[in-house]
Structure 1
Amino acid sequence: MLLYVTVGTNDLERAGAFYDPVLAILGFRRQRQDDAEIGYGADDDVRCRFWVVKPFDRQPATFGNGATVALVAETRAAVDAFHAVALASGGSDEGGPGLRPFHAHFYAAFVRDPDGNKLSAVCERPE
């Protein structure tokens, strides 16, 4: 359904230092970069599906209140690692790993990147 997702940053170098290890946990790696953006994708995908960008209008990047980018994690251990690596890489906690009330197997963790963008890793498999 989604073609790609972008999140804004005011410091592309800092954002890359955060996203490189955090997205690697979920199977994404940096595939493209220029002065305005970094693109991440899976090795088996021909497209970057997650972009960290300086805003096109040259205004400061801001985060959306109520907006969350949820990323698939194959295991609950990957959710745990995502959360730990995000915090170690300069992110902040928005809800530690654990089951959520959305359904019986919704295991998730929530963080904010250094620019305030909210991310989640979610495993929906029973373990």
Structure 2
Amino acid sequence: MEIREIYRGRLIDHVQLVVADLAASKRFYRAVFEAIGIPISGEADDYFWADELFISSVGSPSAAGVPTGRTHLAFQANDRATVERFHAAAVAAGGKDNGAPGKRPYHPGYYAAFVLDPDGNNIEVVHHGRADRSADAIKITF
């Protein structure tokens, strides 16, 4: 499967998680991405991806047979309701609560929730409060 179009934001080009149970991860991340309004960009037998995040099985050629260690990933949300939808959907899809939706002390307006995915990765969805953005993302077409 060839990638023909991608979107890129700021610092990260892409992240790969190598998971023990790809089917469980697909269920979890489909629910998460649906809750935050990000579509699955594509999938194959041993991996799937959405925007900059690639999730693959240990048997995937790019995994080299080794699962990744515990990782913290944070996805942006447009509002607090999205943070709350994420938390409910992620827990319902097999995730473990790691911090209910609420304000955090990181900066004024920081509102987030945390759920551990099936491999123990700490997945966060955060709304930073009101802010002006220069662009949502950039689109790259090959």
Moved more, 113-122 or 20-29: 20-29
CA separation in 1, counterparts of 2:95 and 2:77? 18
Aligned positions, number: 116
Question: 32, 50, 53: which one pairs with 1:50?
Answer: 53
Q: When the two structures are superposed, what TM-score results if normalisation uses the length of structure 2?
A: 0.76
Segments of structure 2 that go 5 or more residues without pairing to the other structure are: 1-10, 131-142
Contact 1:68-1:118 at 8 Å conserved across structures: yes
CA separation in 1, counterparts of 2:33 and 2:124? 11
Q: Which amino acid is the alignment partner of residue 65 of structure 2? A: R
Moved more, 117-126 or 91-100: 117-126
Contact 1:110-1:120 at 8 Å conserved across structures: yes
- Kindly state the Cα deviation for residue 95 of structure 1 after the two structures are TM-superposed: 0.5
Question: 66, 75, 81: which one pairs with 2:79?
Answer: 75
Aligned-residue RMSD, C-alpha: 1.3
CA separation in 2, counterparts of 1:40 and 1:10? 19
**Residues 9-68 of structure 1: per-residue CA shift (max 9 Å, x gap):** 111111111111211222211121112211113xxxxxxx11111241213x2432xx31
CA separation in 1, counterparts of 2:15 and 2:38? 13
Structure 1 segment 14-93 matched on structure 2, within 5 A: 14-41=24-51, 49-55=52-58, 56-59=63-66, 61-64=67-70, 67-93=71-97
